[in-house]
Amino acid sequence: MKKDNEESLKVAGKFYEEKDYHRNDEVSIGLATTHEQVSDNYMGESVPPQGDQPSIPRTGNRGDRENTI
């Protein structure tokens, strides 16, 4: 049980490093993949200009009235 706890603490303290792209352990592969996904999303997404978005119709909890965002 103590060994499992020590291993968990070791993994929990790990963060992304550029070397993770070249490592073969599961945690490094996961960190590299997640870093790539976040980076792609951050760099690829932009906030559209004001007024360029159509309103999205929403219904209330009971469906008895319509709201727009």
Please tell me the predicted confidence (pLDDT) of residue 6.
79
Q: For tokens 């929990």, name the residue.
A: 12
Higher pLDDT, 9 or 62: 9
User: Taking the mean position of all CA atoms in its chain, how far away is CA 42?
Assistant: 10
Helix (H) or strand (E) holding 8: helix 2-12
pTM for this one? 0.50
Alpha-carbon Rg of the chain, whole angstroms?
Answer: 22
- Does the pLDDT of residue 7 top 80, yes or no? no
Predicted confidence (pLDDT) per residue in 8-59, tens digit: 777 788 888 889 888 888 888 888 888 888 888 788 765 555 666 666 566 5
Domain range annotation of the chain: 1-46
